[in-house]
Amino acid sequence: MSLLLILLLLLVAAFAGLYLWSRSLARQARAMVPPAGQVVPVRGGSIHYVEIGNPEAPPLLLIHGIAAQLQHFTYGVTDLLRDDYRLIVIDRPGSGYSDRIEDTDAALPVQARMIAEFLDAKGIGPCVVAGHSLGGAVTLALALDHPEKVRAMALIAPLTHVQEEIPAIFKGLELRNRAMRRFVANTLALPVGKATADKVLAFAFAPESPVPDFMTRAAAVLGLRPEAFIGASSDLVTLETALPAQVARYGALTPPGAVLYGAGDVLLNPALQGEAMRAYGLRYETLPGRGHMLPITAPAEVARFIREVASSAP
């Protein structure tokens, strides 16, 4: 047997092992955090959601960020709002237990369309929309393309503009080829993600410390599934064209809103992503000493901010 063939067989065996390990990690993740709510089909996929609070109260839609899931809001924010709002907390299309058939449907306008169809299916009229991080970009897309759905926007550490440098923790998601994205998702991504989780979380939470139950109570363990990697990678790469096109339309925004940022955010630039939105009529506020993961680390401040935005809605 030639040396080349031996090396090839070893390589195949190694990737087979990684594939089996990835499947095991994914099974464990699904067992630890099963679906929390119901699923509504929409064109191109489906949306998993939980409904919390007063069904007779005004509706409030909560949209999480990249590589996340609805538990980022149920971790601490929803309990502070449930008495006064009908809370609709979704897994963003392609995240958590929400499905997205085509990778290209990660584009901001498509995600907004899927969410609008979800709201129609649920019979939910205009609502206050709170979006964190990439969820903020999706909130803005919803406000631009479906303004009749949005009474006001509460943007929490939102992605609003193109940022020259991709944050280091997202570099591994930068895969533009669909087949390569799936190969990596089913072999390398999960074991590497598990091995580097502590460093990734330290960066994402900085300058604050990660909460100890983030993997379970905030359902971060669901990131250890191939579909989660595929969804996050698709979210990232479709921003290259979708976000500049969206920025060019901000002058047409009609719903009122405000932006809340942690002054110490190292993941996104508060001045570029937050303060810049003052030019489009949005109020801007910062929290000293806080980082990017505000729904987890500052739920009381986030709930207060959402209430203020909701109270100013027409």
Quote the pLDDT of residue 18.
Answer: 78
Per-residue confidence band for 164, with pLDDT thresholds at 50, 70 and 90? confident
Q: What is the pLDDT of residues 65-76, one digit of tens each?
A: 999 999 999 999
* Neighbouring residues of 193: CB distance < 8 A, sequence distance ≥ 6: 200, 223, 224, 229
Strand partners, 59: 86
Report the amino acid identity of residue 164.
Answer: E
**Domain limits for position 81:** 21-159+166-311
Q: In whole angstroms, give the CA distance from residue 240 to residue 171.
A: 14
6 located within any domain:
no
Q: What is the pLDDT of residues 44-93, one digit of tens each?
A: 999 999 999 999 999 999 999 999 999 999 999 999 999 999 999 999 99
Q: What is the pLDDT of residues 174-203, one digit of tens each?
A: 999 999 999 999 998 888 888 899 999 999
13 located within any domain:
no
CATH number where 279 lies: 3.40.50.1820
Q: Which residue has the tokens 């899927």?
A: 114
284 located within any domain:
yes
Q: Which of 56-60, 164-168, 257-261 is least confident?
A: 164-168
* Burial class of 213 by CB neighbour count within 10 A (0 to 12, 13 to 18, 19+): exposed
Q: To 10 degrees, the CA torsion angle through 254, 106, 22, 209?
A: -20
5 located within any domain:
no
Contact between residue 137 and residue 79 where contact means Cβ atoms under 8 Å apart: no
Quote the number of domains for the chain. 1
Q: Which of 174, 149, 155 is nearest to 282 (CA)?
A: 155
14 located within any domain:
no
Per-residue confidence band for 8, with pLDDT thresholds at 50, 70 and 90? low
Would you say residue 211 has pLDDT above 70?
A: yes
Quote the pLDDT of residue 153.
Answer: 98
Q: Which of 71, 76, 116, 105 is nearest to 89 (CA)?
A: 71
Question: CA dist 11 to 19, 162, 182, Å?
Answer: 12, 39, 18
306 located within any domain:
yes
Q: In whole angstroms, give the CA distance from residue 300 to residue 82.
A: 13
